[in-house]
Structure 1
Amino acid sequence: MRALALLLGAFFTLTAWAELPAELPADLEWITNSEDPLFASPLAKRGGTLRMSVQSFPLTLRRVGPDSNGSFAGFLRPNQMSLVVYHPETRRPIPSLASHWAFGPNGRTIFYRIDADARWSDGVAVSGADFEFTVEFMRSKHVVAPWYSNYYTDVVTDVKAYGHKVIGVEGATAKPRDEMLFEYGIGVVPKHFHVLNERWVRDTNWKVEPNTGPYQISEVRKGKYIVFERKKDWWASERRYYRHRFNPDRIRVKVIRDINISYQHFMKGDLDSFGLVLPRFWHEKAKGENYEKGYINRYWFYNEAVQPSAGLFLNEDSPKLADRNVRYALAHALNFDKVINTVLRGDYSRMHTFNEGFGEYDNTTIRQRPFDLDKSRDHLAASGWVERGPDGILVKDGQRLSIRITYGAPQHTERLVILREEAKKAGIELELQLLDSASSFKQMQEKKHEVAWMAWGSQGMSPRYWQFWHSDNAHKPQTNNLMNHDDPAMDAMIDEYRAATDKARRIELAHALEQMIFDSGSMIASTKVPYTRSAAWRWMKLPDELGTRTSGSLFNPFELSSGIYSSGGLFWIDLDEKKRVRDARDDGDAFPALLVLNEQYKR
Structure 2
Amino acid sequence: MRKTGKAILAAVMCLYLAEPFAVAHAQSNPQGAAPKTGGHAVTAHGTPKYGPDFQHFDYVNPDAPKGGEIKLATYGSFDSLNPFILRGSTAAGASLPFDTLTVESGDEVLTRYGLLAETITVAEDRSWVRFTLRPQARFHDGAPVTADDVVWSFETLRDKGHPLYRTYYADVVKAEKTGERAITFTFRDGGNPELPVIMGQLPVLPKHVFEGNGSGVRDFASTTLDPIVGSGPYRIVEVQPGRSLVFERVQDWWAKDLPVNRGRYNFDRIRFDYYRDLDVVFEAFKAGAIDFRVEHSSKNWVTGYDVPAVRDGHIVREEIKHQDPQGMQAFVFNSRRPVFADRKVREALNYLFDYEWTRANLSYGLFQRTKSFFSNSELASTGLPSPEELTLLEPFRGKVPEEVFTKPFEPPQTDGSGNIRPNLRTALSLLKEAGWELKGNKLLNTKTGEPMRFEILLVQPDMDRIVQPFVRNLERAGIEAAIRVVDTAQYQNRIDRYDFDMVIQRILQSTSPGNEQRDYWQAARADQPGSRNLAGIKDPVVDALIDKVIQAPDRESLVTATRALDRVLLWGWYVIPQWHDDVRRVAYWNRFSHPAVAPKYGLAFTDTWWVDPEKNAKLANTARRAAP
TM-score (norm 2): 0.80
Superposed displacement of residue 103, structure 1: 2.1
Q: Which amino acid aligns with 2:370?
A: M
Q: Which runs of 5 or more residues in structure 2 are unaligned?
A: 1-27, 42-50, 384-407, 414-422
Change (3 A) 1:549 1:502: closer
* 1:87 maps onto 2:105 in alignment: yes
Distance 2:35 2:427 in 1: 65
Number of aligned residue pairs: 548
* CA contact 1:31–1:102 (8 Å) conserved in 2: no
* CA contact 2:98–2:232 (8 Å) conserved in 1: yes
CA deviation map 1:229-260 (0-9, x unaligned): 11111111111131222122111111111121
* 1:395 maps onto 2:444 in alignment: yes
1:146-545 paired onto structure 2 within 5 Å: 146-152=163-169, 154-174=170-190, 179=194, 181-187=196-202, 188-195=204-211, 200=219, 203-359=222-378, 361-365=379-383, 366-371=408-413, 372-389=423-440, 392-396=441-445, 397-459=448-510, 461-462=512-513, 464-501=516-553, 503-545=555-597
Equivalent residue, structure 1, for 2:21:
none
Equivalent residue, structure 2, for 1:11:
none
- SS of the residue corresponding to residue 248 of structure 2 reads strand
Equivalent residue, structure 2, for 1:562:
none
- SS of the residue corresponding to residue 113 of structure 1 reads strand
Moved more, 22-31 or 224-233: 22-31
Equivalent residue, structure 1, for 2:94:
76
- SS of the residue corresponding to residue 477 of structure 1 reads coil
* CA contact 2:438–2:477 (8 Å) conserved in 1: no
Moved more, 125-134 or 91-100: 91-100
- SS of the residue corresponding to residue 208 of structure 2 reads coil
Equivalent residue, structure 2, for 1:595:
none
Change (3 A) 1:157 1:500: farther
Equivalent residue, structure 2, for 1:30:
39
* CA contact 2:72–2:292 (8 Å) conserved in 1: yes
Equivalent residue, structure 1, for 2:70:
50
Distance 2:361 2:590 in 1: 31
* 1:39 maps onto 2:56 in alignment: no
* CA contact 1:171–1:184 (8 Å) conserved in 2: no
Superposed displacement of residue 437, structure 1: 3.2
Distance 1:99 1:144 in 2: 26
Change (3 A) 1:192 1:447: same
Change (3 A) 1:184 1:174: farther
Superposed displacement of residue 327, structure 1: 1.0
Superposed displacement of residue 278, structure 1: 2.0
Change (3 A) 1:388 1:208: farther
Equivalent residue, structure 2, for 1:584:
622
Moved more, 475-484 or 579-588: 579-588
Q: Which amino acid aligns with 1:379?
A: L
Superposed displacement of residue 155, structure 1: 2.6
Distance 1:278 1:321 in 2: 30
1:60 to 35, 55, 80: 80
Change (3 A) 1:200 1:21: same
- SS of the residue corresponding to residue 95 of structure 2 reads helix
- SS of the residue corresponding to residue 337 of structure 1 reads helix
Superposed displacement of residue 199, structure 1: 8.8
* CA contact 1:306–1:358 (8 Å) conserved in 2: yes
Distance 2:376 2:364 in 1: 23
Q: Which amino acid aligns with 1:343?
A: L
* CA contact 1:408–1:438 (8 Å) conserved in 2: no
Q: Which amino acid aligns with 2:98?
A: Q
Distance 1:288 1:530 in 2: 26
Q: Cα RMSD over matched residues?
A: 2.9
Distance 2:64 2:554 in 1: 44
Equivalent residue, structure 1, for 2:401:
none
Change (3 A) 1:27 1:54: closer
Superposed displacement of residue 150, structure 1: 3.1
Distance 1:583 1:430 in 2: 53
Moved more, 485-494 or 24-33: 24-33
CA deviation map 1:432-472 (0-9, x unaligned): 22223343222111110111211133235225420011111
Q: Which amino acid aligns with 2:264?
A: R
Distance 1:24 1:207 in 2: 44
Equivalent residue, structure 1, for 2:123:
104
- SS of the residue corresponding to residue 453 of structure 1 reads strand
CA deviation map 1:137-170 (0-9, x unaligned): 1332xx2632212322x23222222223222223
Distance 2:167 2:380 in 1: 26
* CA contact 1:401–1:428 (8 Å) conserved in 2: yes
